[in-house]
Chain A
């Protein structure tokens, strides 16, 4: 079945540091890949997505590239801010008759000033 593995957290960085959160997946078919962000006490917000190999999703300075050969979709940001502190979830949808999102366990990011 489908599964998503994210790097274990928590991740603590100083403001303006470089961020990488690793995500690898196992899926049947040809999945679409997503990163969602959850701020404290809130629901999930879609951060970015990619729907085919070598696609790069980007939003608010965050980027992730769909790597089919390594089944990965790592999240990166060149310079994090305190306001980026949140939990980040990698997710996939494998399509066909499968309509659900399958999520990783999430990675807590804390950015200190």
Chain B
């Protein structure tokens, strides 16, 4: 049973560029969340997708956008990259709703903005 997969593993971009990160959820999961983890910090929630719609969004600017496809996979797009966007981007998948459902994380994409 494949877990959550993310691509690419590492990415180096220049300020002002745009980037797309990809995530495939764990088999049987229908919900995808994205988190940003800065060095030495806990993950911060960016947004969550369910049924191809953004269901909840954290405190991130509109430069951060996403998409969920009919097969439940998801993309995170970041426009006009800033140095401060350098971080580990984590995708998490889950099934169902409610406060007790478990989120399973992928290995992350390490984004470096120079």
- Chain A residues close to B by CB (< 8 Å): 4, 29-32, 34, 36, 42-46, 49, 51, 89, 91, 93-106
Contact = CB atoms under 8 A, between A and B. Distances in A.
A15 to B, nearest CB: 25
Interface string B31-51: 101010000111111001010
B102 A98 contact: no
Nearest to A34: B102
A103 B45 CA distance: 9
Nearest to A36: B105
A43 B108 contact: yes
A95 B96 CA distance: 12
B39 to A, nearest CB: 11
B67 to A, nearest CB: 17
B78 interface: no
